[in-house]
Amino acid sequence: MFVYLKMFVKMNNIKAILLSAVLLLIIVSCNKNLTQSINDTQSVTSVSTTADVLNVLQGTYGILQNQNMYKEGLLKLILLCGDDFTSSSNQFQIYSQRVYNSSSPDIQNAYAGYYSIVNNCNFILSYLPNIKTASGTDSTLKVKEEGETRFFRAFSYFDLVRLFGQIPIRTQPTNINTNFYTTRQSVDSVYALIFSDLKIASTELNYKSSSDGVGLTNKGAVQALQALAFLTYANYLDRTGGNGHALYKSADSCSNLVIKSGGYSLVPNYADLWNVENESNNYGSEIIFGIRFTRDRSVSSTASQGSGYASRFMPSTMGGVCGNTTKNINGDLGSGSGTYRIEPWFYNYYTSGDYSIDNRANTTFLTSWIRKPGSGSIYVTYPNLPSYSKDTVLSNQQFPFIQKYQDPKGLDAADNENDMFIFRLSEMYLIQAEAENEYAGFPTSTAIADFNKVRTRAGNPILATNKLTQNAFRRKIFDERGIEFVGECKRWFDMVRMKGSDSTGLLYPTMFQYQFANYLSSVSSGLPLLDKVNQVWVTTTPGGLTDPYSIIAYNSKFLLFPIPQSERDENPSLTQNTGW
């Protein structure tokens, strides 16, 4: 190299070399610092005040409202896997027919959705201590934010542990040094985390005040969740050979705190709960916590903040019940899609016996309707006959529908106002009744009073439950919950949680087992058939009262959902639930 350099110099081109060097320097000096510029997205480091934290907290709550969660996807699991609903719609029927598996996307999406909430909560909880507060109100806000965050984390873990059993526990925000491949933790440790979060949250939050926004988390919601979590965990311990006895007492006292808080009251008329225009007022009385959906004028359809229940639950031949902008076969706007349908046996169950004059059945079930407001044409379902009315009956269907969710002012099929109520005061009465019954070993007077509060609201006479055994009373509560909360995502959880018993009080490990292994298999399989000649519905062979595809042989694997296969693909150390 030196030789060439010498030649270079020899050529008397020192000037040239200097020129080159100067040019090189000029060029090199326009050196960039190689920082990237992202002007369209906020950085995590921008979170520095309680207002910023509130922003993340609201975003986190928003996850519960996403399409994969309570807006739609999650309902496929927790609604259709009960015994009360069925569906023949593509993407839905795999749940009602129970042919879903560990690769079914809705399960994966719900699992991921809850953990996304958990991680955001972990982020807030780890970040909050560093947030400097400017004033007294600011530090009050900071405490409140922590309480709400803990509530959402506990809420997510509670749903996760009930759906999947043992699950990974994450309490720190995920970062690059996190062990991404953890193992499933015991159900006990998940509940321990839930209870510790809720305990702290209940001290950090106050009962709702008039200044609170509707649907925000408060002490009532925390205690309601505590009550149900204690009850569920106690059931779990009882079922798995542990001792849940003391926990029933905790469930009892938590539900009692909510009942006695004075902040809530039963809506006198059950039907008023489902008047969408009255929804916000109901938060002032009976609703303790709900997933808030709002007609969204700036975003539509699946991405909107509205719900799709009005469309999913209502029949496709009834116009004007939701915001659906597609005309149905009659050319009417606002019709439902008839996705979720009631099993005929369920309808029969709650319109006979103890429930024959229950006004919740009238309010809840939809068995006949006019085509659209102002139109005389009528549709009927089982058990109505085509001769039901003098008006023209256009068709008959085998499944009744649920009419709790309607929003004629909705903006489109998936953008309606209807909320999903998570906790209502009536459930607190039923939890207290159940907890007392479990703790005392018999229906206590408080239990009976609570039970009858819910029952009489529905127009029923007081039930002489004091003559019932513990088991029979438990079964009464199960049944009561079945009609009180139909379409409110409670049934599947109750079925896998509660000890099963037939109407005489004979015991089974779970209601799910009793229903599928004993009761439903004794009901004639198949849908009611209309005998047009004799004008009767045939509900015994060749007809029946159940969707033959949805009533499958009992298999204990259905007590839990499978850990999503994609999770196990990524993390082979995650075990699978038995049977999946």
16 binds other proteins (CB under 8 A): yes
Q: Rule CB under 8 A: is residue 386 a binding residue for other proteins?
A: no
Q: Which residue from 135, 298, 504, 534 is in contact with other proteins, where contact means CB under 8 A?
A: 298
Q: CB of 195: closest distance to other proteins in angstroms?
A: 20
- Which of 73, 74, 97 minimizes the C-alpha distance to 85? 97
The residue range among 132-140, 175-183, 244-252, 390-398 that interacts with other proteins, by the rule CB under 8 A, is 175-183
Compute the distance between CA of residue 121 and CA of residue 481 in angstroms, rounded to an integer.
31
Nearer to other proteins, 131 or 234 (CB): 131
CA 298, 303, 304, 310 dihedral sign is: positive
Query: Toward other proteins, which CB reaches closer, 111 or 508?
Result: 111
What crossing angle do the helices spanning 445-457 and 425-440 adopt, rounded to 10°? 150
- What torsion, rounded to 10 degrees, do the Cα atoms 64, 69, 72, 73 define? 180
Q: Does 176 bind other proteins (CB under 8 A)?
A: yes
Question: Least CB distance from residue 373 to other proteins, whole Å?
Answer: 21
Give the one residue of 5, 14, 23, 134 binding other proteins; rule: CB under 8 A. Answer: 23
Q: Nearest approach, Cβ of 37 to other proteins (angstroms)? A: 4
536 touching other proteins, by CB under 8 A: no
Tell the smallest beta-carbon distance from residue 466 to other proteins (Å): 43
Angle between helices 187-204 and 136-164 (to 10 degrees): 160
Nearest to 195 by CA among 225, 173, 234, 239: 225
CB of 350 to other proteins, least distance (A): 28
DSSP summary character for residue 176:
T
Q: Does residue 56 interact with other proteins by CB under 8 A?
A: yes
Site membership for other proteins, residue 294 (CB under 8 A): yes
Q: Does 421 bind other proteins (CB under 8 A)?
A: no
**Which of residues 76, 142, 144, 170 is near other proteins by CB under 8 A?**
170
Closest CA to 480 of 427, 443, 523: 427
Give the Cα separation of 107 and 101 in Å (integer).
Answer: 9
Contact between 97 and other proteins by CB under 8 A: the answer reads: yes
How many CB atoms neighbour CB 555 within 10 A? 14
42 binds other proteins, rule: CB under 8 A: yes
Contact 169/185 with Cβ under 8 angstroms?
A: yes
Number of residues located near other proteins, criterion CB under 8 A: 108
Quote the least distance from Cβ 141 to other proteins, whole Å.
Answer: 15
Choose which of 5, 59, 373, 506 interacts with other proteins (CB under 8 A).
Answer: 59
Among 5, 9, 24, 507, binds other proteins (CB under 8 A): 24
Q: For 247, list phi and psi in degrees, rounded to 5.
A: -70, -25
531 binds other proteins (CB under 8 A): no
- CB neighbours of 29 closer than 8 A, spacing ≥ 6? none
Question: Smaller CB distance to other proteins: residue 195 or 580?
Answer: 580
Q: Distance between CA atoms of 431 and 277, rounded to whole angstroms? A: 28
Q: Which of 10, 90, 209, 243 binds other proteins (CB under 8 A)?
A: 90
536 forms beta bridges with 531
3-class SS of residue 394: strand
Non-local (6+) Cβ contacts of 314 within 8 A are 321, 322, 335, 336, 337, 338, 366, 401, 403, 405, 406
> Counting contacts by CB under 8 A, is residue 130 touching other proteins?
no
122 binds other proteins (CB under 8 A): yes
Cβ proximity to other proteins, 269 vs 326, nearer residue: 326
Is 416 a binding residue for other proteins by CB under 8 A? The answer is no
**135 makes contact with other proteins (CB under 8 A):** no
88 versus 389: smaller Cβ distance to other proteins: 88
Residues 304-333 that bind other proteins (CB under 8 A): 305-306, 325-327
**Which residue in 40, 130, 210, 522 binds other proteins (CB under 8 A)?**
40
Sign of dihedral through CA atoms 271, 273, 278, 284? positive
Nearest residue (CB) to other proteins, 98 versus 474? 98
Question: Would you say 38 or 464 has its CB closer to other proteins?
Answer: 38
Which has the closest alpha carbon to 519: 529, 506, 532? 506
